[in-house]
Amino acid sequence: MRTAVEIKKLLLIEEFLKIQTEETISKIESILKEERIERLERELNKPFTEAELNKMIDKAENEANEGKLVSSKGLKKQIQSWK
């Protein structure tokens, strides 16, 4: 059984697919961008718990031990290839 939010999403998608003007799509994009920024700001202003910080540290240490790091020189080289 679908929740009310899932049904609303599907109806919104159907309506979005019917849009014919770029102006309307731009307005929707703008609203979504503002919402995303507000959500990120709320999340960033929330302090991490000690458990969250420890989890992030553990993950970083595991990635370092597995060689999943990129040096600053390597990163600069990758960025240059994007151009």
pLDDT 10s digits, 35-56: 999 998 888 888 888 999 999 9
Q: What is the mean pLDDT of residues 51-68?
A: 92
**Distance separating alpha carbons of residues 22 and 51, to the nearest angstrom:** 46
**Distance separating alpha carbons of residues 62 and 60, to the nearest angstrom:** 5
- Which one is predicted more confidently, 1 or 46? 46
What's the token pair of residue 55? Answer: 């989890």
> pLDDT tens across 5-21, in order?
999 999 999 999 999 99
Residue 46: its pLDDT value, please?
Answer: 84
